[in-house]
Amino acid sequence: MRSTPVLRTAVAAALPVLALAADGRSTRYWDCCKPSCAWPEKAAVNQPVYACNAQFQRITDPLAKSGCDGGPAYSCADHTPWAVNDDFSYGFAATSIAGGSEASWCCACYELTFTSGPVAGKKMVVQSTSTGGDLGSNHFDLNIPGGGVGLFDGCTPQFGGLPGQRYGGISSRNECERFPEALKPGCYWRFDWFKNADNPSFSFRQVQCPAELVARTGCRRNDDGNFPAVSPPSQQPSTSSTSSSSSTTQQTQPTSPGGCVAQKWAQCGGNGWSGCTSCEAGSTCTKVNDWYSQCT
């Protein structure tokens, strides 16, 4: 992904620093490579970010070679963005933050408030799953399937490749139909919730990682509690579709981990999902595909 797949031991140098609001730069990509934060000893965390095999199933060996270097490890399909409501989304990014290093970025979470384009005023909380020397200062390269592979292309060895330009990716929602089923929801998100915004500007601050993000990556920083908690705004019906017309509805499941209940428009199931599987009253768990279900 966004850094060389070698072990680094600079963890001890990473000291908790409260991040104040700053302005950032956004781009987009999806290169299918093993996340750079999936390697061990990158930061003081409970565990590295999950990586997956070519079939999008989580693997347990953190030393598995990246698919971009001929190995079996790739990005997981659930490391893609999803909408909570019309004004709030979760997602993931490769990051480079001024004044820090890989040891302070890996698995950190940030609240982005977009300030330009069709998404101005919307918010998104992302977790850093990769870093890299090709990124500028305060640069967030959002993980969006169909955003272009960029410098590295692990998608071709994984499943034959993705349509679109190397930088920038595809140009229309219809092209998402040519993606693997597991990546379609994240591709639709770009044209629905994100309104196909082209590298919008934003302000950002570091926040505690929401459980919804940690459930997908498995990674939480040891200093996560030093940062303010953030909650999505009150749930409102979303007009931004995150599924294709072939979506089906399944009954709300009777039990969830710890008895938790997912709010409307939140994820409620999918392969590898370990979060809430029951939906709040008035909504049901709608299956988009084997990797993603949402309370609707």
Residues with catalytic roles: 31
The SS3 call for residue 65 is coil
Q: Which of 73, 46, 41, 38 is nearest to 57 (CA)?
A: 73
Which residues are CB-neighbours of 94 under 8 A, at least 6 positions away? 1, 2, 29, 36, 128, 129, 130, 131, 132, 135, 140, 141, 143
- With vertex at residue 289, the alpha carbon angle to CA 286 and CA 291, rounded to the nearest 5 degrees, is 105
The Cα–Cα gap between 145 and 80 comes to: 7
Contact 92, 12 (CB under 8 A): no
State the residue for tokens 């698919």. Answer: 67
